[in-house]
Amino acid sequence: MAHYVNFGGTYLSAMPTATRDASVENDYAATDTDRYFENLEPAEYTGTVKLHDETEREITVPVAKSTEDGKYYLCDLERNIRACKYVPYEKNGELQFISTDGNEGWSDKQLLIYESYIKVYDYFAEKGYESIDGTGELPILICMGMVDNEGDPVNNATFAGVKNGWAVFNAAELYYDGECIDSTAHEYTHGITTMSMLGINYSRESGAMNEAYSDIIGNLVEMILGTTTDDKWLIDEVKGVPLRSMSDPNEYRQPAFAGDTYYVPDVKITTEDNDNGGVHTNSGMLNNIAYKLHAEEGMPLEDEFNLWFTTFMAITPESTYFELNKMLDFTAVTLGLESYVEKIDKLFKESGVLEEEEKEIFKNGKDGCGRVTLEADKGMAATSATVKFYTPNEKDEETGKLKSYDTYVGRSSIASALLPEGNYACVIVDEVTSKQYIYTGKGWQDSILLPDELIKECAFVEVADGKVTELAGPEMTAAEREAAEKAASRADAGIEDDGSAASGAEEGEADESGSEAEEEAA
């Protein structure tokens, strides 16, 4: 039994577990996966594969020859890894294992994916952790050719859970994902955390921590194995299509600290629309801590891997940032890294993730940005409301639609975003009812117009020089702009004005600790 207590000494729970010394011979016997590794002889494939940049390299991977049909399969008999086709297994549970007639004609992308799982498996095995359960008894199934519900290839990879005695991973072939060890190790880490915690709470704070763990471990494994020259801690950069940046989360629409641009507040209801409370978005905060621990505080990569990996067995599905902070401190001392304890504490404090009150989080700011805070209808906090701050003259290069900075209405019915300089029209979309509301300067008004049209009805909020001013409307007359500028100057000087500006608009100026004090804008 594994027993869990909190830091105050209160007993939490107990659960059955297996140790490396325990017998696990029959743990998965009921699923009879052993039969899928019978009547096969070990073999090897060596050949040349083409990479995403049109260059080539030699590859050598284990395969297996069937004594029944004579075909060769992407099958590793030593590590218990097999590859199958995604669609038949996903739709019908049918195992169509990937094979060729003469150990030739393999897909380059499939070979690279298969090789990457072998490399990641071996790295963890060297740490004494075989397969995702740590015993080596749970076989791995890689489902290749991942597609969406319409059958279109996707840019994604997932750990799909333990099914029918397999640790199932889905792998896409849209790009050269097999070149990205960080992506493979990311999903592999999801498998480990799921098994080590006997499940996860995949939402809000704990979900963001879980996603960050996979990014952190994945990136560290990639760098330690030397399969990247990246020093910005990008995710999926090797295939030429990065997904995230741990050094600059804002670059890929993630926050670097609590209350930062793109930060997802504590929503009342978690949905797919709000990313289960921001699990893939707010993960940028812990990612940034991990990056700084190496890049700014000097912790070696191997030491940092050991630090994060060791905490796997201590965190629970309900662990908080505060508990993780203390567990990292404890682990650092245990591993002889006690000189980093103060540095870890400093990074957690600076990130703002330890703040529990929303109003304190929304005091955080940064140079070149202003905080726009508007009170939404209280009913919106009871649903799932997306807040979009549209930039009227700027369109997204990929979609051609109006560019927006998105956040969500938190439990306190506040819509708050830290925005760079510019003019913004604020629109709230109720994801439950599909209704949308525009901010008019006097309150919220429902609208059925498309974004290009509805912003003509909005009052604009201007962010300039760290100051936030509500404009009279989408088109400002010279007199209105002059009045707004005078009002902003009076507010900057601390002079009471006539209250013509937005009651919820706020500005921030950095204090000595790097956070910003909150002031009302005129």
Please check whether residues 287 and 374 belong to one and the same domain.
no
List the structure tokens of 498: 């006539």
Answer whether residue 481 shows pLDDT above 60: no
pLDDT at res. 493: 62
Answer whether residue 442 shows pLDDT above 80: no
What is the pTM assigned to this prediction?
0.84
pLDDT at res. 361: 94
Mean pLDDT of 242-262: 96
pLDDT at res. 24: 42
Asked if the structure places residue 117 within a domain, the reply is: no
Distance, in Å, from the CA atom of 372 to the CA atom of 261, rounded to the nearest integer, reads 11
Give residue-wise pLDDT tens across range 272-305: 889 999 999 999 999 999 999 999 999 999 999 9
Mean pLDDT of the chain: 85
pLDDT at res. 367: 92
Please check whether residues 190 and 314 belong to one and the same domain.
yes
As beta bridge partners, residue 142 has 83, 169
Query: The domain containing residue 406 runs over which residues?
Result: 363-520
Report, in this order, helix, strand and coil percent for the chain, each rounded to 5.
30, 25, 40
Answer whether residue 385 shows pLDDT above 90: no
Please check whether residues 352 and 263 belong to one and the same domain.
yes
**SS3 labels along 195-258:** HHCCCCCCCHHHHHHHHHHHHHHHHHHHHHHCCCCCCCCEECCCCCCCCEECCCHHHHCCCCCC
- Position 356 confidence tier, pLDDT thresholds 50, 70, 90: confident
Question: Are the CB atoms for 178 and 113 separated by under 8 Å?
Answer: yes
Give residue-wise pLDDT tens across range 499-513: 433 334 433 333 433
3-state DSSP assignment of residue 273: coil
Distance, in Å, from the CA atom of 375 to the CA atom of 386, rounded to the nearest integer, reads 13
Question: What's the structural domain count of the chain?
Answer: 2
Please check whether residues 328 and 252 belong to one and the same domain.
yes
Give residue-wise pLDDT tens across range 402-412: 889 999 988 88
Please check whether residues 392 and 495 belong to one and the same domain.
yes
Q: Which helix (H) or strand (E) holds 507?
A: strand 506-510
3-state DSSP assignment of residue 314: coil
DSSP tag of 201: -
Asked if the structure places residue 170 within a domain, the reply is: no
Distance, in Å, from the CA atom of 371 to the CA atom of 490, rounded to the nearest integer, reads 18
3-state DSSP assignment of residue 152: coil
* Residues in contact with 294: Cβ distance below 8 Å, sequence separation at least 6, in sequence order: 300, 301, 304
Please check whether residues 309 and 326 belong to one and the same domain.
yes
Please check whether residues 337 and 446 belong to one and the same domain.
no
Please check whether residues 388 and 509 belong to one and the same domain.
yes
Q: Of 168, 157, 235, whose CA–CA distance to 195 is shortest?
A: 168
Q: Of 453, 451, 322, whose CA–CA distance to 399 is shortest?
A: 451
Please check whether residues 375 and 321 belong to one and the same domain.
no
Question: Are the CB atoms for 169 and 187 separated by under 8 Å?
Answer: yes
Answer whether residue 466 shows pLDDT above 50: yes
Please check whether residues 194 and 280 belong to one and the same domain.
yes
